[in-house]
Structure 1
């Protein structure tokens, strides 16, 4: 029979393998939305006591948005925080990395929200701060119908999970930014090519024409380029001779 220390070591080793597999799985996702959905689904499977999970962001320390949920019930709980203007995501997560609400019906820190959450059948909540960027904050929120569903083990596993989730979110966002940048560059390149061929312009002259059209119409450069590539025309059909080249 294994000793208590041996069992604890084995559990840590198993958890490390599980989180390693999770990190690789999250990295394989094709989009930010897919990554976020995988995070909440995996959180329910990984953190002891969790029955539901959600990812949310609080922008400018005031406006809360739900990014992904494992079930519609989470959206309803988040809505309660927004409407009550109180709750773990709206307040304390700006000061603490982990917040536990063990008995929802007895919660005094956010009484209005707690009452709404209890009406929805939530018995306890465990929330983790994922990142803070300026005045924006993101959190992983875990829910259970049972009171005192989350233990010290839940907090330890949840903290490790949240760390992997934060890294996965940052990686997915970076990949999305790079993808958008490449798409933007390709689209502008296509638009320049059309103008260069049509009006016998140099690359710099074609780009200057796109910029001029953007400034003249107050439309973003990328939207001007997209319109041109789809319609074959510059916005408002700006004449070639109206632009100093």
Structure 2
């Protein structure tokens, strides 16, 4: 399969991916194939913690976790900014991240390419490929991964937005159902029902959608606790 064929195939699979997890797995798989790497993975930061959202093998996640623990490494550097793409030809000899480089070599990875995943509005993470041999990648390989990272960033942003919209619509449906139950049970209007849900949410420090779900699950108890409006 040529690089053009591989890119076309990846584009089709990304189009069909329905969740961020499926999208990330697809990107990792094709990144590995595109430069004949031994493994690939995607790293992001969530809640201040480094997280691997896709990997083609367990030792990829281990290599990522080492960077989080040591506070250095090409994947972390690409994630945090700086150069868009980092090429490591020999992890044990590379002086930019000496502690991580030695640790990565010890688990069997000697060559790495890391490229930033970002859109015009936000940084998402990093796309990373690994090889067990020294000097396994060159500048052309780095350019391929950089190109893939650009298109992967758009795919991740799009599927994340769709997922967010689906979640928002689902939450609206649950809240609407709870409002309807309150209206029919207590003879109140929609504004009063929503105000009651909102007050419960604030008083109990509980998300509005969770309050709504609990009301739906406990419909038989509604008549016992008429809301104070």
With normalisation by structure 1, the TM-score equals 0.84
C-alpha distance in 1 between matches for 2:58 and 2:170: 34
2:161 alignment counterpart: 174
- Unpaired runs of at least 5, structure 2: none
1:20 aligns with 2:8: yes
1:70 aligns with 2:56: yes
1:139 alignment counterpart: 126
- Unpaired runs of at least 5, structure 1: 1-10
Q: Is the 8 A contact 1:49 1:149 kept in 2?
A: no
The match for 2:146 among 156, 159, 162 is 159
Q: Whose radius of gyration is greater, 1 or 2?
A: 1
1:228 is displaced (CA, Å) by: 0.9
1:132 is displaced (CA, Å) by: 6.7
Give the root-mean-square deviation of aligned CA atoms.
Answer: 2.5
Residue 32 to residue 241, structure 1, CA distance change in 2 (3 Å): closer
1:71 is displaced (CA, Å) by: 0.5
Aligned residues: 228
What pairs with 1:46-195 in structure 2 (closer than 5 Å)? Answer: 46=34, 48-58=35-45, 63-91=49-77, 94-131=81-118, 137-195=124-182
Can you list the C-alpha shifts for 1:93-150, whole angstroms capped at 9, x where unaligned? 5110000110112111111101100000111000000117888550001000011111
With normalisation by structure 2, the TM-score equals 0.90
The match for 1:219 among 206, 220, 225 is 206
1:152 is displaced (CA, Å) by: 2.4
